[in-house]
A and B are shown apart, each in its own frame.
Chain A
Amino acid sequence: KTQVEQSPQSLVVRQGENCVLQCNYSVTPDNHLRWFKQDTGKGLVSLTVLVDQKDKTSNGRYSATLDKDAKHSTLHITATLLDDTATYICVVVDRGSALGRLHFGAGTQLIVIP
């Protein structure tokens, strides 16, 4: 059963527009939540990590929120650039697992057009 659901599956925006990516999860007990960016044919690069029960982070044009009560996270990208075209992956760390198990969403494919 998929424990991390991301929406939308894909998204097309024009350069300069803002966008919001969603992540809902059912991992219990949850620990940290991370957002990664995966360029086509490349590995995952960490964008941000959210830790607290209700957390917010900001990293340049990327900002993220986490609500552990709702088991929901969002990733906001402001003033998108062509280089933002990538797959964005939400990852929940299972703190109940001895392996520090990471639960990966399938990703949202973002395409930024001129």
Chain B
Amino acid sequence: DMKVTQMPRYLIKRMGENVLLECGQDMSHETMYWYRQDPGLGLQLIYISYDVDSNSEGDIPKGYRVSRKKREHFSLILDSAKTNQTSVYFCASSLGTGGDSDYTFGSGTRLLVI
């Protein structure tokens, strides 16, 4: 069953705490992504990873970092979370980065920073 799994599904953190969002995929996809989705806005790219230890900043990387030590696993880390990082975070994967690649999205992690 080809899928992207995100953990946890829901998370509440206090401002200043560290946050770890996990993402796994079972399709051996090279490319993985982290997006955030806010009301009234399209998904915004935080980071993209082309393979193990090959990561690039997206459009809104400030306040975030990522880790990819295995092809099937991609983590998003918030060091000292801020209230404006309250959002829904989506992980996705694709075989390549071309427009004809199939993209598979996880179900999202809903993060509330208080």
Contact = CB atoms under 8 A, between A and B. Distances in A.
Interface of A: 2, 4, 31-32, 34, 36, 41-46, 49, 51, 89, 93, 95, 99-107
Residue among A31, A44, A93, A103 with most chain B CB within 10 A: A44
Given A32-B100, A49-B99, 20 more contacts: A2-B42, A4-B42, A31-B98, A36-B105, A43-B4, A43-B107, A43-B108, A44-B90, A44-B92, A44-B103, A45-B105, A46-B102, A46-B103, A93-B99, A95-B99, A100-B99, A100-B101, A104-B35, A104-B43, A104-B44
Contacts of B97: 99-100
Interface string B93-114: 0001111111101111000000
B48 interface: yes
Contacts of B40: 106
Interface residues of B, number: 25
